[in-house]
Chains A and B, each alone.
Chain A
Amino acid sequence: MLLDIRNLVQRFGTTTVLDGLTMHTSDVRALVLVGPSGGGKSTLLRILAGLDVPTAGNVAFDGEQLPRDEPSLQEYRRTVGTVFQAYNLFPHLTAMENLLLPLVHVHGLTDLEARARVREPLERFSLADHAHKRPAELSGGQKQRIAILRALVVQPKRLFLDEPTSALDPEMTAEVLDMIGELKDLGTQFVLVTHEMGFARGVADEVAFIGEGRVLAHGPPGEIIDRSDVPRVRSFFARILR
């Protein structure tokens, strides 16, 4: 995907969260957003995912402008997938019902077709045995992996993942990150917000450092994480990588 963001501004009341953010990626499969808390990563991701409309500015994926009106945005959201930090699944439905819901109600598959569609992915990610459970009966890692699957089985153009592991303990974090790594190998494109720098280094084609509502650094992971010449960026990684 080629992501082209120009002068993106997002204000909530009087606070300016995104302050003229501009970035042009090369043709990447995995773009990772990193940066300090409150820097605007989630705000940016919500705009990219078509959930919020920016105050000003333009976003284009592969040359296609994101719409600003709600009907077109809803259409757009049906072509992408989004996973949040937690509580993605609908607690009154089983894991299977969570997977079937968008297939049946948004993409018009019959129940039978939808079940056929999810069978293989459930097997591949060893989740078939848990499909009959409600979210309350699943571990945090299983919940997130089902949520990623739910976003994936509608065959979206790309995924948006906002800190999908930051509510998980290390073991579950590993199982979710493994899944994301495997997805990349299978050809899935995604924009990922994460604090897992080791993982970011391995999976990212490009890393963008978001701070103070802007892109403070952007490039290949090694360049940004290990040897950035931007002081703000260097001190951030010096602190979190010890």
Chain B
Amino acid sequence: MPRWLAHTIVVILFAALIALAFSRVNYAWNWSGVWEYRQKLLQGFGVTVALSVAALVGSTLIGILAALLVGSKNVLLEAVGRVYVELIRGTPLLVQLLIGFYVVASAVGLENRYVVGVLVLSLFSGAYMAEIFRGGLAAIPQTQRDSARAIGLTPWQSLRLVILPQAVRLVLPAVAGQFVSLIKDSSLLSVIAVSEFTLAAQEVNSFTYSTLESYLPLAAGYLLLTLPLSALSRVLERRFRYET
């Protein structure tokens, strides 16, 4: 059986199961209320995309910096990197957002909640990116560095021409996966009242009292973003496997 057929069958089975569940609870659908607020949902969707892309760029930069810190020979710099990575990965994003917004941002007089949201999200995701990048660099065998030195490359040339091109290929699937997490995690920005997709759905729900009609489009919207990324991640992974 071809893969697409298997996928289609499984999706249909799942849909049938959910449809069955809905028919059992006799849910009274009312899509017209939510339809009124479609503009709000679309806007929220747009904000989520923009926040996620901004945080992806931010977390990539922070991730590179943190990976360099963790890999540094200077023990102080290494400690800074390690503490950052462990602190962030060991605590809930919710807590980081609340502290970041109500304590840190207030203390420094940063009021734009979108900027704070992107910063906190970047710092959060950056810790995971740092581990991805470090793993990618560590996966390049020592013989590659030796070969690069043996042909007379400078350390910078060796990084640019030999190490990075291989490491980037190696980490791309994981980075795409991290982007998927980032998009879903951005929903937590609703707690500091950033008008992104999830907050929009919450508001539509409170206006219309149509809970499922408000949240089902939310699920569909996130899937619209994350499914292609997951597929991309898998394609990249497979392509790299064939290359080596």
Contact = CB atoms under 8 A, between A and B. Distances in A.
B142 to A, nearest CB: 9
Contacts of B165: 92
Contact of A87 (B141, B161, B243): B141
Contacts of B166: 90-92
A106 B143 contact: no
A106 B161 CA distance: 12
A101 B244 contact: no
Interface stretch (A2-10, A77-85, A123-131): A77-85
Interface string B164-187: 011001000000000000000000
B152 A91 contact: no
A204 interface: no
B153 A87 contact: no
B152 A84 contact: no
Contacts of A78: 152
A92 B151 contact: no
Contacts of A150: 151
Contacts of B151: 77, 81, 101-102, 106, 150-151, 154
B111 interface: no
B217 to A, nearest CB: 43
A151 B150 CA distance: 9
Interface in B209-244: 242-244
A92 B146 CA distance: 16
Is the interface on chain A under 10, 10 to 19, 20 to 34, or 35 or more residues?
20 to 34
A77 B150 CA distance: 6
Nearest to A82: B150
Contacts of A105: 153, 157, 161
B43 interface: no
A147 B181 CA distance: 42
A114 B103 CA distance: 60
B153 A90 contact: no
Interface string A54-98: 000000000000000000001001100110101111111000000
B144 A74 contact: no
A184 interface: no
B26 interface: no
B154 to A, nearest CB: 7
Nearest to B143: A87
Is the interface on chain B under 10, 10 to 19, 20 to 34, or 35 or more residues?
20 to 34
B161 A84 contact: no
Contacts of A49: 150
A84 B143 contact: yes
A51 B166 CA distance: 22
A136 interface: yes
B146 A84 contact: yes
Contacts of B141: 87
A87 B144 contact: yes
A229 B1 CA distance: 71
A239 B34 CA distance: 85
Contact of B147 (A90, A92, A106, A134): A90
B42 interface: no
Interface in A134-166: 134, 136, 150-151, 154
A140 B219 CA distance: 50
Given A92-B165, A105-B157, A51 B149 contact: yes
B152 A77 contact: yes
Nearest to A71: B154
A106 B153 CA distance: 6
A80 to B, nearest CB: 9
B153 A91 contact: no
A88 B147 contact: yes
B162 interface: yes
B49 to A, nearest CB: 32
A51 B158 CA distance: 14
Interface in B11-27: none
A77 B149 contact: yes
Interface in B124-152: 141, 143-144, 146-152
12 contacts: A49-B150, A77-B152, A84-B143, A84-B150, A88-B143, A88-B147, A90-B161, A91-B166, A91-B243, A92-B165, A102-B153, A154-B152
Given A84-B143, A84-B147, A102-B153, 11 more contacts: A51-B146, A77-B150, A87-B143, A90-B148, A91-B243, A91-B244, A102-B152, A105-B153, A105-B157, A106-B151, A106-B152
Interface of B: 141, 143-144, 146-154, 157, 161-162, 165-166, 169, 242-244
